[in-house]
Amino acid sequence: MKKCLAFALLGLPLCASAQSFCTRDAAIDPEFPAGLRGAYSIVGKDPAGNSYAGMLTLRYREHTYALTRTVNGTAIHGDAWIERCGPDKITTLVARYYGKPATELYCALGMDGDNYYRITCRTRHTGGTKNGLEAWFQGQ
């Protein structure tokens, strides 16, 4: 009987916190985060360890942001969206480039003193195990 009661009490917190860690915003709000669209200079290191630099444009659509990343003259398109994560609902930008292989990005939004975005991302090829990095600098 004591074991059944202990399992029931230990299982209660697990049931109470069953909601997802991150939730995706239903639509793009141009007012928040304000000023996100535009041109960015980017630098990165892909999951294989190769460094690169290029340009990125971000445009608004109804449910996602449209991305076009150009590195060494090659353009790759993608989508991005905002997710709210954890109990504090921390704003996270999640993106996907549709190259071969596809690349997933999980990004933190930051700003410099002139109110330009500085977005830093962890990257991973779909199905891969190694991480890369990518940083976007707005206003270039």
Question: Using CA atoms, how far apart are residues 33 and 62, in angstroms rounded to an integer?
Answer: 15
pLDDT confidence bin for 140, thresholds 50/70/90: low
What single DSSP character describes residue 58? E
Instruction: Note the pLDDT of residue 16.
Output: 44
- Nearest residue to 42 (alpha-carbon basis) of 128, 119, 127, 129: 119
| Distance from C-alpha of 120 to C-alpha of 104, rounded to nearest angstrom | 13
66 pLDDT above the threshold of 80: yes
Which tens digit of pLDDT belongs to each residue from 119-132?
999 999 988 889 99
pLDDT at res. 17: 44
Task: Tell me the C-alpha distance between 92 and 104, whole Å.
Answer: 13
Report the distance separating Cα 97 and Cα 69, nearest Å.
8
Q: How far apart are CA 132 and CA 118, in angstroms?
A: 17
pLDDT (0 to 100) of residue 2: 55
Which tens digits make up the pLDDT trace of 15-56? 444 446 888 888 877 777 888 899 999 999 998 899 999 999
Question: What are the DSSP calls for 99-138, one per residue?
Answer: SSS-EEEEEEEEE-TTS-EEEEEEEEETT----EEEEEEE
Helices (H) and strands (E) in the chain, counts: 1, 9
- pLDDT, averaged across the chain: 85
